Amino acid sequence: MTPTLHIPANEHGVIRVFALSMTDPEAKAIKDDPAALIGVLGVPVDASHVEIFPLSDLEGVGLPGYLMDGHAVPEAQIAPDRIKLDKLGGWVLVLYSRAFDGAEVTLTPSPALTLIGTYGTPGTNWQSTETLSAEAAKPYSAPPETVKKRPSDAAMSGRIAMVVLIGLALFTWLFIWIAG
């Protein structure tokens, strides 16, 4: 059983892993019916940011590997829960911050859900002090745009004359065909 969980407004980059204490048909029913998520989480969520799957699907990778390799959760965050994550069986529910669409919510999970862990994914460091030294990174280093030359007046006149001659030939052929 998991106590009430407070999700702050505009939370991002947080992954919550819950164990599902239910039968396979019950877990499959929740997976197949996004509306059933309200019953297990206690609030409406965007089902496209919730994953429900049997841990047998991660054979060879394991839940720690799935979180580290698939979602870039740092190993240092996984380490305290590694034994717990490795020993889990059955079904899990993986809940991403984006499921709340930036809203502040309070989850009241069903007794069938047990929070296993909460993990953060690293964000992009926009304060990088690394300077780019490649030639292509320098301002105005792109090759000049090639400007397509417009056709000359003589070329345009030739094209118009060709269209007129084709039209005249089609008209003549049509006239002969109708008269014939």
- pLDDT of 54 reads 95
Which residue range forms the structural domain that includes residue 23?
A: 5-120
Positions in the chain short of pLDDT 50: none
Answer for the pair 73, 117: CB distance below 8 angstroms, yes or no: no
Identify the pLDDT of residue 3: 80
Total number of domains in the chain = 1
Residue 33 domain flag: yes
CA 63, CA 71: separation in Å to the nearest integer?
A: 11
What pLDDT, on a 0 to 100 scale, did the predictor assign at position 133? 75
Please report whether residue 154 resides in a domain. no
Q: DSSP string spanning the chain?
A: ----EEE-TT--SEEEEEEE-S-HHHHHHHHH-TTHHHHHHSS---GGGEEEEEGGGGTTTHHHHHHHHHH---HHHHGGGHHHHHH--SEEEEEEGGGGTT--EEE---TTEEEEEEEE-----TT--PPP-SGGGSTT-SPPPPPPPPPPHHHHHHHHHHHHHHHHHHHHHHHHHHH-
With respect to residue 106, please indicate whether it lies within any of the assigned structural domains.
yes
Give the global pTM. 0.67
Residue 151 lies in a domain: no
Is 136 inside a domain boundary? no
